[in-house]
Chain A
Amino acid sequence: MSTLRPQGPVALEQFNLMKLTITIMVLVIVVVFALSFYVIVKFRRRPGDNKVPVQVEGNHKLEIIWTVIPIVLLLILGVPTVQSVFGLAKDYSKDDNAVQVIVTGHQYWWEFEYPQYGIKTAQELMIPTGKTISISAKSADVIHSFWIPSLAGKIDTNPGSNVNKMYFSSKHDGVYLGKCAELCGPSHALMDFKVKSVSSDSFDRWVAGMKEPGQLPADAAISDVFQKQCLTCHAVGDKGLQLYPNLTNIGDRETIGGILVNTDDPKYKNEGSTYDNLKRWISDPQAVKPGNSMPKVDLTKEQIDGIAKYLSEYKQK
């Protein structure tokens, strides 16, 4: 996920600018270090040395040199910077060829809405590889900042009607880690998300899958609890409310709550199978992400198991 391994043209442009600046700056550092080192070795006071050095007032030629050289270096840096500033500010929000995504930051989760397809999802931004993704970013509460280090630099999500635009695209299929980069409360550190870049075909299948009618648990008792306790905030397909993360096809996601990584081969404390992660999350959401809006729902152990099983198996057909 490093900014030093860009996986798309926007991150690449930023990386190139970073390389240019780093090169110039290393040059400056080398010159200053070399001069400093030379001076402190050469002109250190030897024991018994009592002479008074020549009191030099200054030297116009030298002073002009070290004023002009930085200006030239800054010009070399300034021109591509300005070009890039305007280049990256291009607005694709009216472009039909671009995939439009409305990103909304919440304490502490990400909502992704695709207005062209009429679908909403959470925590996992699905994108077609190679296509331009046009982001309109806003916040539902405090300021967050939307950042996918290996694909593009960040943009703040502001509350109110202040919508920020940016764009990016990915060159290869893959899963990229995204982060919240603006302090937004206790679980700021845990407000991760994933960007899943897939082929156009897979993307279309995913869109179709998200539009399928919602499926309820097969077990009637679990289904009843799920509708009463979960769908009052969440949604699956066309059922339930869209106030909090949409759960459609949650079994396909890489993470639960953006932070519990789903894997059958858990290595770290925040990893587990989808089923285990769901159980861990539902039993005590506050222990996983302190300060988030989901309460500890009044459920029996069997009910939690049932719901976790149902959700972990809720996958795209």
Chain B
Amino acid sequence: MAHAHPVKRHTGLMDWLTTVDHKKIGILYLIAGGFFFLIGGLEALLIRVQLWKPLNNFVGADTYNELLTMHGTTMIFLAAMPVIFALMNAIVPLQIGARDVAFPFVNSLGFWTFFFGGLLLNISWLAGTVPDAGWTSYVPLASPTYNVDKGVDFYVLGLQIAGIGTLIGGINFLVTIINMRAPGMSFMRMPMFTWTAFITSALILFAFPALTVGLVALMFDRLFEANFFEVAGGGNTVLWEHIFWIFGHPEVYILILPAFGVISEVISTFSRKRLFGYSSMVFATVLIGFLGFMVWAHHMFTVGLGPVANALFSIATMLIAVPTGIKIFNWIFTMWGGSIRFTSANLFAVGFVPTFVMGGVTGVMLAAAPADFQYHDSYFVVAHFHYVIVGGLVLGLFAGLHYWWPKMFGRALNEFIGKLTFWTFFIGFHLTFFVQHFLGLMGMPRRIWTYLDGLGFNTMNLISTIGAFLMGLGTIFFIINIIVTAAKPKNAGNDPWEDGRTLEWSIPSPAPEYNFAQTPLVRGYDALWKEKMDGNEGMSPAEPIGPIHMPSPSILPFLMSVGLFIAGFGFLYAKNDWNNAFVSNIFGNHIVAGLGLAITLGCMVVRSLKDDHGFHIEPEEITGKGVKA
């Protein structure tokens, strides 16, 4: 059984480029997502500087539209999604007792396509033609007629490439969670975070293809003179809005569900209590995921869909409040009667609950279509979705990062700086966005690069700008914390919080390459807690120690993504006016684009034809390394 296949093990940079280990890919997602989060945050600060006083001219109208577009696009697709994938990669396989994800190669490919797609999108800043039609990229503003430079081309191509990564990542986690659970880990024993990762992956599977269809159609309009959305050619602009929001609304739940999962884990652990109403939590998650697909037109109440559509979508939207309310009360009653310890992770989680409720109730307010005629596209909406995405998702991600940092890196983050991060970010957040509700009600439309004096907007905008800088400060504290922590020795134990309940806390921090030396036997919900309560030392193994089969590292995912990146450039600059006949020729005849696609397809051929059985880690190696002193 134990034939050792000779496999080249890389070190240093090559190790990171070729890794198919879910834990390392999780770290890559975190680094890349964190990088884009800083870029998006910088854009947000520039936006707030421009708006700190009326008729300001810090950045002009054009730059402002570029900033607001790139801020939204970057934060959603390149910061929030990847950090969610970072946590899913780092934790989900550990929580279900698996040694890796179902398709490690695909996992790596997903990361690299996301990364190069995001890079392509952001290179637009260097190229000087930045997308400026909003993250929603509504046509005709984004159509070739009204948007002649290459900005929106960067958007459609960058997001298509990045979207491949998200889609295959989602599929990978669906398969992983369905197929790779340890013995005894039934669906109704899965930790809440794994459940939310599962539902989020399902939403990705159904929502992202809609976005891809829209982007491909817009790409054909822009690059090859198609007429999907060209009114003059018989196209329809409302069609884009539908396609975009059929993706866009589930996307909101793709983002928030994993945060729900994180909060459930963190609150339960630090209250030393089982999650209250676990089965209703699972049910609520599934229901939110399901309803999430039937409410997209509430983004379009003012488009003129007629009263029947508006009434139906109003009611459907309001219904989502019910499962969300169930979750909120379950969290509160998880803490009820518990023994709550306020670590920085738990501060973020506890801060999340009321903050998210505020974002949720404004969501219900927006659902009432006639009132939405007033709220729509005003700062009220800006406040609402930042309460949901920052007050919900970002607080959730911070909670998750502080909670699982020891498991990912073997070192716990500094608690003092962690608390400092929480308070500055939390106060800054409420300062920034709470006043924006009122700005919206007073009639300030969103996406305006300046506002007139004398309308009563001045003070609140100033407060908002100050808040934004506090959030920036909070982020800087977090970065300092990472640096300070990285300088300390790796000393985190298996269960650094001492109250760990789930499987990831039964193995060393960071987890060894193969995660579990022996696949654990799961005997109930909160598997590790159950063993603790029954007085057992860790999990009982479900198998004897034996050789562990591992997938081989591969450079192919990286190369395939580079190929797509080159192809993206080729298409972008196909019609460019190069001052050089040769360059014009190779771009104009799609030779560059073809070359890029050839690299990708070539790698696919190599991957298909080359037999790669992976390799084995022998028992001697496991017992030698797996046990920590």
By a beta-carbon cutoff of 8 Å, the part of chain A in contact with chain B is 1-4, 11, 13-15, 17-18, 21-22, 24-25, 28-29, 32-33, 35-36, 39-40, 43-45, 49, 51-59, 62-63, 66-67, 70-71, 74, 77-78, 81-82, 84-89, 107, 141-143, 145, 147, 149-150, 152-156, 158-160, 162, 164-165, 177, 179-190, 192, 259, 261, 267-270, 290-291
Please give me the residue from chain A that is nearest to B366 by CB atom: A21
Mask for B453-497, Cβ within 8 A of A = 1, else 0? 111100000000000000000000000000000000000000000
B42 within 8 A of A: no
In the complex, B243 has a CB within 8 A of chain A: no
Within 8 A of A (CB), among B339-391: 339-342, 350, 353-354, 357-358, 361-362, 364-365, 367-374, 376-378
Q: For residue B334, which residue of chain A has the nearest CB?
A: A56
Verify B311–A85 contact, CB threshold 8 A. Answer: yes
Are the CB atoms of B376 and A77 closer together than 8 Å? no
* B274, A55: Cβ atoms closer than 8 Å: yes
Using a CB–CB cutoff of 8 Å, the interface residues on chain B facing chain A are 54-55, 60-62, 65, 133-134, 138, 140-141, 146, 231, 236-238, 271-274, 276-280, 302-304, 306-307, 310-311, 314-315, 318-319, 321-322, 325-326, 328-330, 332-333, 335-342, 350, 353-354, 357-358, 361-362, 364-365, 367-374, 376-378, 441-443, 445-456, 533
Q: Closest chain A residue to B367 by CB distance?
A: A81
B370 touches A180 (CB 8 A): no
A143 touches which of B140, B340, B450, B533 (Cβ 8 Å) = B140
Give chain B residues whose Cβ lies under 8 Å from the Cβ of A53: 271-273, 337-339
Q: A160-B231, A182-B138 are in contact. Are A153 and B372 (CB under 8 A)?
A: yes
| Minimum distance in angstroms from B391 CB to a CB of chain A | 13
Q: Give chain A residues whose Cβ lies under 8 Å from the Cβ of B365.
A: 18, 21-22, 25
Other A-B contacts than A86-B311, A142-B146, 20 sampled, CB-CB below 8 A, are A17-B371, A29-B361, A40-B335, A40-B340, A62-B333, A63-B277, A63-B280, A63-B329, A70-B322, A81-B367, A143-B141, A143-B237, A149-B374, A156-B302, A182-B138, A182-B377, A185-B146, A186-B61, A186-B62, A190-B450
Please name 17 pairs of A and B residues whose Cβ atoms are closer than 8 Å in the assembled complex, sorted by A: A21-B364, A29-B357, A36-B353, A36-B354, A44-B340, A52-B272, A54-B337, A59-B276, A71-B322, A77-B364, A81-B318, A143-B140, A155-B302, A160-B231, A160-B237, A189-B448, A189-B450
- A165 proximity list for chain B (CB < 8 A): 304
Q: A32-B328, A70-B321, A85-B307 are in contact. Are A14 and B374 (CB under 8 A)?
A: yes
Q: Which residues from B are CB-within-8-Å of A71?
A: 322
Chain B minimum-CB-distance residue to A180: B445
Instruction: With A36-B350, A36-B353, A153-B374 as known contacts, state yes or no: A56 contacts B445, CB within 8 Å.
Output: no
Q: Quick check: A270 and B358 within 8 Å, CB to CB?
A: no
A164 to B335, CA, bound (A): 50
Q: CB-CB < 8 A to A66: which residues of B? A: 325-326, 329
Distance between A100 CB and nearest chain B CB, rounded to angstroms: 17
Is the CB–CB distance between A154 and B377 below 8 Å?
Answer: yes
Q: Are B237 and A159 in contact (CB under 8 A)?
A: yes
Could you tell me if B307 and A86 are in contact, using CB atoms closer than 8 angstroms?
yes
Q: How far is the CB of B235 from chain A (nearest CB, A)?
A: 8
Q: Is the CB of A3 within 8 A of B374?
A: yes
* Complex: A36 Cα to B374 Cα, angstroms: 32
> Closest approach, in angstroms, between the C-beta of A151 and any C-beta of chain B?
11
Give the contacting residue for B231; candidates A3, A52, A159, A190; CB below 8 A: A159
Residue of B nearest to A21 (CB): B365
Q: CB distance A35 to B332 under 8 Å? A: yes
The answer to whether A149 and B370 touch across the interface, beta carbons within 8 angstroms, is: no
- Indicate the member of B134, B374, B442 with the most A CB atoms within 10 Å: B374
Contacts of B134 in A (CB 8 A): 183
- Using CB atoms, name the residue of chain A closest to B319: A74
Beyond A84-B370, A154-B373, whether A2 also contacts B61 by CB under 8 A is no
Least CB distance, B331 to chain A, in whole angstroms: 9
Chain A positions within 8 Å of B60 at CB level: 186, 290
Q: Report the separation of the CA atoms of residues A74 and B316 in the bound assembly, to the nearest whole angstrom.
A: 11
Nearest residue in A to B526 (C-beta to C-beta)? A55
CB distance from B29 to the nearest CB of A (A): 31
Are the CB atoms of B280 and A177 closer together than 8 Å?
Answer: no
Contact B339 A141 (CB under 8 A): no
Chain B residues with CB under 8 Å of A78's CB are: 314-315, 318
Partner of A152, one of B310, B373, B452: B373
Bound: A77/B236 CA distance, A: 34
Closest Cβ of chain B to A118, distance in Å, is 26
Contact of A43 among B326, B340, B533 (CB under 8 A): B340
Are B332 and A149 in contact, CB atoms less than 8 angstroms apart? no
CB atoms of A85 and B304 under 8 A apart? no
Residue of B336, B373, B449 most packed against chain A (CB within 10 A): B373
**Which chain B residue shows the least CB distance to A51?**
B339
Contacts of B332 in A (CB 8 A): 32, 35-36, 39
The CA of A3 and the CA of B340, in the complex, are separated in Å by 43
Q: Given known contacts A145-B377, A154-B376, A183-B133, is B357 in contact with A28 (CB within 8 Å)?
A: yes
* Of B62, B138, B373, B455, the contact of A183 (CB 8 Å cutoff): B138
The closest CB in chain B to the CB of A192 belongs to B452
CB < 8 Å neighbour of A268 from B325, B328, B454: B454
Q: Which residues of B contact A51 (CB under 8 A)?
A: 339
Contact of B237 with A267 in the complex, beta carbons under 8 Å: no
Cβ contacts under 8 Å, B376 to chain A? 145, 153-154, 181
**Complex Cα–Cα for A179 and B450 (A):** 13
B274 touches A57 (CB 8 A): yes
The chain B residue with its CB closest to the CB of A87 is: B370
A77 to B454, alpha carbons, bound, how many Å?
35
List the B side residues contacting A152 at CB < 8 Å: 373
